[in-house]
Amino acid sequence: MKKITLFCVIIVSIVLLSGCSDKNYQSHFDLGKWYSEKGLINEAILEFKAATRANPDQYKAHHHLALAYTKKGWYEYAIKEAETAFDLHPSDDTYKLIHVIREKRTLSSYKDTITQE
C-alpha cells in the first residue's frame, strides 16, 4: 500500500512540475531581465540559468545569459550560450551576437597584453 501511495505521489509531482515549466521559465526569464536592467548581473545570470534549465529550448534565455556573461567579461561562457541561442533560433541577431562577443574577447585579450607590457 505504501509503495502505491509513493508511486502516485511521484506521478502527480511529475505531472505538476511538467505543467509548470513554462511558468517557471517565464518567471525566471522576467526576473533575470529585471535584474539585468538594474545592473545586478550576478543575480541576472542565476535567473537566466534557471530559465534555461526550466526550458532549454527557449533561445531568448540563452541569448540574455550570453549578454550577462559578456558584461562580466566571461567571454567563453558567453560564446557558448550565444551559439546555443543560434542553434535554437538561427537569425541575424543571434549570429551577430556570437561575432560581437568574439570581438570583445579579442579586444580584451589585446588590452590585457598591452597592460602587461
Residue 116 pLDDT level (bands cut at 50, 70, 90): confident
The CB-side HSE value for 73 (13 A sphere, CA atoms) comes to: 5
How far, in Å, CA of 14 to CA of 34, rounded?
30
Long-range contacts, stretch 5-14, CB < 8 angstroms, 24+ apart:
none
pLDDT at position 6, please?
A: 52
pLDDT at 19 over 60: no
How far, in Å, CA of 70 to CA of 36, rounded?
12
pLDDT at 18 over 60: no
pLDDT digits (tens, 9 = 90+) for 41-83: 999 999 999 999 999 999 999 999 999 999 999 999 999 999 9
pLDDT at position 60, please?
A: 97
Stretch 81-107: mean pLDDT, rounded?
96
Domain ranges of the chain: 21-116
* Helix 92-116 with 75-88: angle, nearest 10 deg: 170
pLDDT at position 66, please?
A: 98
CA-based end-to-end distance of the chain: 74
Residue 12 pLDDT level (bands cut at 50, 70, 90): very low
Instruction: Specify the DSSP class assigned to residue 81.
Output: H
Domain 21-116 fold is 1.25.40
Choice between 22 and 75, residue whose per-residue pLDDT is larger: 75
Mean pLDDT, the chain, whole residue set: 87
